[in-house]
Structure 1
Amino acid sequence: MLKVICFCAVLLTMPSWGAQKEIIGQTAQLSVEEVGLIYDARMDTGAANTSLHAIDLEIEGGSAAKMKDNIGKTLWFTTQNEAGEARRLSAKIIQVSTVKNSQGRETRYMVSLNVGFDGKERQVKVNLRDRSHMDYRLLVGRNWLKDHYIVDVAEKQLIGPVATINIVEAGLGYKTRIDTGAVENSLHAVDLKIEGGVEDMEKNVGKMIAFTTENEQGERQRVRSRIVETSLIRNAQGSEIRYMVELNVGEPGKEYKTKVNLRDRSKMTNKLLIGRNWLQGHYMVDVSR
């Protein structure tokens, strides 16, 4: 099947909130200012509110029969992080919340605490519960994330505009251009030979192809792979059809299989170009690196 790829200059108008939100992974080391401890916190977009491990709850002056009648009173509690560091502190009860989960329903006291990265905390409502049997003593809910963070559960790694990238099948490392404007990866390849090949490129899909590749240091290797499809590339020079193969491509020790189109890049500075089909879901590009 012939896939058509167009390289176009497109002006993207981003929503105003896009520039304001930061990306955060599924876990992060966050502090609670009033406690003075650092927690290994879990980001939970399924939870409406943030939850902190708390035990030995004691209300100054005694507790009322109904939890909601304790709103406005001072609550003392002990909290502990994953490192075993414990603190006892007090806070005013500002609300009670009913939480539904797989165990049923439970009502928790809520207090206002400053939660965030050390030195950059901000105030948020936090419900208190015994989380001693859980992996994370601080769970961060939507009330802390909203309008400030986008959660990246893939925990993508950062990569610069140029990186050393290996191709396992070639046994070579390339000084690679990382190009978010390119849909596909492209590898320098010459002397292409197709087993049982015919003139019609589309009819060669599925056949084995051998080619010679070379990195920026002049190291050469002959590689054999199977043609998985053809791709029509349109750029400033016109258009051309290229064969695509699947190769294991990545940073040393982090290679994974991806599609790569083959072309003569001998006149280009970088013999391997990485496009969005390799980056997507794995990397974010920081051009200042």
Structure 2
Amino acid sequence: MLKKMGWCLLTLMTSLSVQANDKAVIGSTANMYVSHAELPYVARIDTGAVNTSLHAIDLKVEGGSAKNMKDNIGKMLSFTTENGQGQTKRLQAKIVKTSTVSNSQGTETRYMVDLDVGFKGKERKVRVNLRDRSHMDYKLLIGRNWLKGRYVVDVADKKYIGPVAPISIVESGMMFKTRIDTGAVENSLHAVDFKIDNEDSDMEKNVGKVIHFTTENEKGESKVVKSRIVETSLIRNAQGSEVRYMVELNIGEAGEEYKVKVNLRDRSKMTYKLLIGRNWLQGHYIVDVSM
């Protein structure tokens, strides 16, 4: 009997694990779209909120508003919404429900409407409560009614990135069409014409010194970059092994760069002049090769 119960428990746990794995991962914020408004929003993903909430002001019930908000259910409501970039749109939707929300400021009753919300091109209908969020950082809040059954939330805020992505290197002032390579431990940047201040023939003795090198992106744009050698790296590949200098550069999606170690090598014969490895991806990105 105990053996049978144990088997049933194992089966149940496996089933729950499979169900969880079937759900997509979403971070604590996401770029969302409200198709009725034709506006993009940076949305806060909030598992503490039952319902999704959208910034709305100047609410007007068509035909006049009844004193009791519940008596307006079924009527058309017009309102103005605004995203984080200051873009506004006047919308119209049918009131489908009212919602009483309790928070640190007390309780308030809000109108609820059905809107298509989600990633652009993949929006789906969800019930949304309307409130003035003008003093809040996020004009769209995604609640459990949008997440349930479809998403798990990763508060580490990992984002998805494809096998090729446009990546910026701040020190070069250039964008690179970049290969995202989970098989590579380190990032690698095309670099030629090395000039090291007080260079020594022993590479290890150059660690800590300033290095100047020329890099180039796939468009043929080039720039001389100045950095400091932080260490050397022994790289093994199909051609054998080689020692490369490593520097720290600010690398990332435009406006979201962060400092990371990069090894320098001549990649002139390679399609991608910048290769992103696990030391840039780890803790920040999930790679989706279908993107």
TM-score range, shorter chain: 0.5 to 0.7
Cα distance 1:172–1:279, how it changes in 2: closer, same or farther (>3 A)? same
Q: Which residue of 1 aligns with 2:96?
A: 91
Q: How does 1:185-224 map to 2 (within 5 A)?
A: 185-190=187-192, 192=194, 194-198=196-200, 201-211=203-213, 224=226
1:259 to 251, 258, 261: 261
State how far apart, in whole Å, the 1-side matches of 2:272 and 2:90 are: 51
Instruction: Measure, in 2, the Cα distance between the counterparts of 1:44 and 1:266.
Output: 43
Q: For 2:89 and 2:223, how far apart are their aligned partners in 1?
A: 54
More helix per residue: 2
97 and 19 in structure 1: CA distance in 2 versus 1, 3 angstrom threshold = same
- Change in 2 beyond 3 A, CA 1:141/1:227: same
Question: Residue type of the partner of 1:145?
Answer: L
Alpha-carbon distance between aligned partners in 1 of 2:196 and 2:171, rounded to the nearest angstrom = 17
Shift of 1:45: 1.1
> What SS does structure 1 have at the residue aligned with 2:230?
strand
Question: Which of 230, 233, 243 is equivalent to 1:231?
Answer: 233
CA shift, 1:259, in A, is 2.7
Instruction: State the SS of the aligned residue for 1:26.
Output: strand
8 Å Cα contact 2:20-2:152 kept in structure 1: no
Q: Which runs of 5 or more structure 1 residues have no equivalent in the other structure?
A: 1-13, 64-69
Q: In structure 1, what residue type is equivalent to 2:94?
A: L
Deviations for 1:145-180, whole angstroms, at most 9, x for unmatched residues? 2342467997968665275x6767668776643323
**Aligned-CA RMSD value:** 5.0
CA distance in 2, matches of 1:134, 1:252: 27
Residue 134 to residue 221, structure 1, CA distance change in 2 (3 Å): closer
1:287–1:205 CA distance, 2 compared to 1 (3 A): same
Equivalent residue, structure 2, for 1:29: 33
* Runs of 5+ consecutive residues of structure 2 not aligned to the other structure: 1-16, 82-87
Greater percentage in strand: 1
Contact 2:94/2:113 (<8 A) preserved = no
> 1:106, CA displacement in angstroms?
0.5
Distance across 2 between alignment mates of 1:39 and 1:221: 37
Secondary structure in 2 aligned to 1:233?
Answer: strand
Instruction: Give, in whole Å, the separation in 1 of the partners of 2:176 and 2:140.
Output: 43
Describe how 1:1-289 pairs up with structure 2 within 5 A: 17-18=20-21, 20-21=23-24, 23=26, 26-30=30-34, 42-45=43-46, 47-50=48-51, 51=53, 53=56, 58=66, 75=73, 78-82=77-81, 83=88, 85-87=90-92, 89-91=94-96, 97-101=100-104, 103=105, 105-108=106-109, 113=114, 115-117=116-118, 120-124=123-127, 126=128, 128=129, 130-131=131-132, 133=134, 139-149=141-151, 161=164, 176-190=178-192, 192=194, 194-198=196-200, 201-211=203-213, 224-235=226-237, 239-247=241-249, 258-265=260-267, 268-278=270-280, 287=289
Which one has a bigger Cα radius of gyration? 1
Q: Which residue of 2 aligns with 1:66?
A: none
TM-score, structure 1 normalization: 0.58
Helix, strand or coil at the partner of 2:96:
strand
Give the SS at the match of 1:85: strand
Distance 2:218 2:89 in 1: 51
Q: Which amino acid aligns with 2:124?
A: E
Distance in 1 (CA, whole Å) between partners of 2:212 and 2:37 is 59
